[in-house]
Structure 1
Amino acid sequence: MVLLESQIKLKSGDKAPEFQLLGIDDKKHTLNDYNNYHGILVIFMCNHCPYVKAKVDALNELYEKFGDKIAIVGINSNDSKDYPEDSFENMKVIAKEKGFKFDYLVDNTQEIAKKYGAICTPDPFLFNSNKQLVFHGKIDNAMKPDAIATEKTMSKNIEKLLDGEKIEKDFDPSIGCSIKWKEN
C-alpha cells in the first residue's frame, strides 16, 4: 500500500472540472446535475482502501446531515483490472452493504481524477454553489484507519459554507492510499 497526502492542483476559487460519469444507478451523471444545491462535495474514493473504509460512517453522516443542501458525489478512479475489488459491480455491492445514499460514480479513464488533481483515497473537494473550490482536504482529523476522530473538519467547513462564512484553511490534506493508476 502506497500512502499519499493530497496535493494542490485546484486552488481556492477554481471551478470544478466538468465530468460525465456512469453511476451505480446505471445512469450518466454530470456536474450540472447538481446545480440545485448550495454546494457539492466530490470525494475520490474506492472500495478496498482501509482509509476510505474508515470514513464510511463519516461519509454517510455527512449525507444525512447535509445531503439536502450539499450534493455528495463519490468517484472511483482506481484501475479495476489490477484491483478487481474496485470494479463497477463491486461498487454497487459496497454501496448497498454500506448504505451509501450519495451518488457513486466510476472514472474508468482516470481523466477526472487527473483534472481534479486527486492522488489519494479519500481525496475530498468542497465547492460552493458557483462550483468554485472552497476547501480541499480531510473529512476529519482521524488520519489513520484505526484512529478516532475528535474534529469533524468537513462538517465544520460545510456549515461555514452554508452560513456564508469564509473557510480560513482552504487546504488541509487528506491522507490515504494512492489512486491505482493504469499503466500506459
Structure 2
Amino acid sequence: MASTPPICDFGWKARDFRLPATDGRIYGLGDLRGEKGTVLVFICNHCPYVIAITARLVRDAKDLQKAGFGVAAICSNDAAEYPEDSFANMKLFAAKNGFPFPYLHDESQKVARDYGAVCTPDFFGFDGRDGLQYRGRLDESRKEAVPGARRDLYEAMMEVARTGEGPRDQISAMGCSIKWKPGNW
C-alpha cells in the first residue's frame, strides 16, 4: 500500500540512535553527520518505489557527500514478515547497488518511530545543527524513472548548504508503508 509522509516540520531536531550497518560497524547520528548536514532515508530492499530510485539515490548521495553532507539509509521493516528485508539481504542489496553510505538496520523499529517515518523511501534532510530542513521526495519519479526529473532532494540540500534553510515548497515522497511489527505502531 502506498503511503505519503507529512511535509517538513522545519527545525525539528534529529534524534540520536545506535544501529548496526551492513559494513559491520555500529553508527550513531554523530558518526554520520556531515559538515553541512545529514540526510537519512528510510528504505527497504523489496519496495518497488525504492528499487525504482536506487541508482539515482546512489548518484545523489555521492554528490551530497562531496558537498559536505553525511548520508545514511535505514531499514526498519519487519523482517519476520518480510524476509527479503532481513539484515543478510540488506547486505546483499547494499553490495549489489554499490551503496556509498552506511545502510543501517533498525530491527526494533524505534528509530523509525522516533523519526515518524511513514514509507519507503522517506527522506529526512537536516542542516549542520541537526534541524530538519527537508522532508520531500528524491525526484518526481515513482515506480518508474522520469527522464530528466528535477533532483528535488539534491537541490533542496544544496539550498540548505547555501542558506541554512530548506525550500518552503516541498513535495512529499511516496512509497510503500513501513512494515510494522505487531503492536509497534
TM over 0.5: yes
Residue 157 of structure 2 contacts residue 166 of structure 2 at CA under 8 Å; is this kept in 1? no
The verdict on how the C-alpha distance between 1:121 and 1:36 changes in structure 2, with shifts beyond 3 A counting, is closer
Q: Which residue of 2 aligns with 1:24?
A: 22
Q: Distance in 2 between matches of 1:76 and 1:27?
A: 15
TM-score by length of 1: 0.93
Match 2:146 to one of 136, 148, 151: 148
Question: In the alignment, does 2:41 pair up with 1:43?
Answer: yes
Deviations 1:120-156 (A, max 9, x none): 00000000110100011101011x2124152110111
Deviations 1:71-128 (A, max 9, x none): 1110000000000000000000011111111110000010110111101000000001
In structure 1, list runs of 5 or more residues that go unmatched. none
Q: Which deviates more, 113-122 or 61-70?
A: 61-70
Higher strand proportion: 1
* C-alpha RMSD over aligned residues: 1.5
Question: In the alignment, does 2:119 pair up with 1:120?
Answer: yes
Residue 119 of structure 2 contacts residue 177 of structure 2 at CA under 8 Å; is this kept in 1? yes
Tell me the number of residue pairs that the alignment of Structure 1 and Structure 2 aligns: 181
> Percent identity at matched positions?
35
In structure 2, list runs of 5 or more residues that go unmatched. none
Matched residue type, 1:86 = D
**1:70-149 alignment, distance < 5 Å:** 70-142=69-141, 144-149=142-147
SS in 1 for 2:40: strand
Q: Distance in 1 between matches of 2:164 and 2:71?
A: 20
